[in-house]
A and B are shown apart, each in its own frame.
Chain A
Amino acid sequence: LAKTTQPISMDSYEGQEVNITCSHNNIATNDYITWYQQFPSQGPRFIIQGYKTKVTNEVASLFIPADRKSSTLSLPRVSLSDTAVYYCLVGDVRSSNTGKLIFGQGTTLQVKP
């Protein structure tokens, strides 16, 4: 079972780049790494997903080293509206087995003015 470990909380200031690292030492060969964002009183929202190296979309980048035992979500130039909880998950996108979809505690990011 691929469990993830991430910092409980992080603080940043507007305009800075924020990097949140997630540890997943037991990641399986077919597992992908997925990040979700959750605002208070809302359901989680998909941010980005990747398997290896680097993935970039309009809101974030995901860096995955060769051993895949960790990953880093990078948020460029954060604003106050990026204050949220960020979850890292690992799981097989092809499998009907959802036992690995564990959200964990997530990382609470607080962006300050």
Chain B
Amino acid sequence: DAGVIQSPRHEVTEMGQEVTLRCKPISGHNSLFWYRQTMMRGLELLIYFNNNVPIDDSGMPEDRFSAKMPNASFSTLKIQPSEPRDSAVYFCASSLGQGAREQYFGPGTRLTVT
């Protein structure tokens, strides 16, 4: 199995631009998580999907952030418009089942907004 796949691995964009991060979970996993990691705030859960349905989006910072999961094998996290404070590493993770079951993390997308 290829594991969780994220793209792009690195993204540099200018403030105000739209950014789309992509994730392909492990086949057969029915839960998908988006996290953001910074030195200041650590690893934060942004949103959680179960069976393609958003279950908990309380961690999404504001309306500039949106996430979709149109099918079981693909999810996107979009930031529009982007701001320098959005610079972080964004991780996608997937798991089989719900709650605190073992999560498999992707390699992350390092986003830099200038």
Per-residue interface assignment for chain A, residues 12 to 50, with 1 indicating a CB less than 8 Å from any chain B CB and 0 otherwise: 000000000000000000011010000001111110010
How far is B46's CA from A38's CA once the two chains are assembled, in angstroms? 19
A-B interface contact total, Cβ < 8 Å: 69
**Which secondary structure dominates chain A's binding surface?**
loop
**With an 8 A cutoff between CB atoms, is A74 at the interface?**
no
**With an 8 A cutoff between CB atoms, is A65 at the interface?**
no
Question: Which B28-73 residues have C-beta < 8 A from chain A?
Answer: 33, 42-45, 48, 50, 55-56, 58
How far is B44's CA from A100's CA once the two chains are assembled, in angstroms? 11
Closest to A90 in B: B100
Would you give the shortest CB distance from B71 to chain A, in whole angstroms? Answer: 20
The contact of A42 among B43, B98, B107, by CB within 8 Å, is: B107
Across the interface, do A93 and B97 meet the contact criterion of CB distance under 8 Å? yes
Q: State whether A100 and B108 are in contact (beta carbons under 8 Å apart), knowing that A43-B93, A44-B43, A105-B42 are contacts in the complex.
A: no
Across the interface, do A103 and B107 meet the contact criterion of CB distance under 8 Å? no
**With an 8 A cutoff between CB atoms, is A81 at the interface?**
no
Residue numbers of B with Cβ under 8 A of A are: 4, 33, 42-45, 48, 50, 55-56, 58, 91, 93, 97-108
The 8 nearest A-B residue pairs measured at CB: A43-B105, A91-B100, A103-B43, A46-B102, A95-B99, A96-B98, A98-B48, A93-B99
Residue numbers of A with Cβ under 8 A of B are: 31-32, 34, 41-46, 49, 87, 89-106
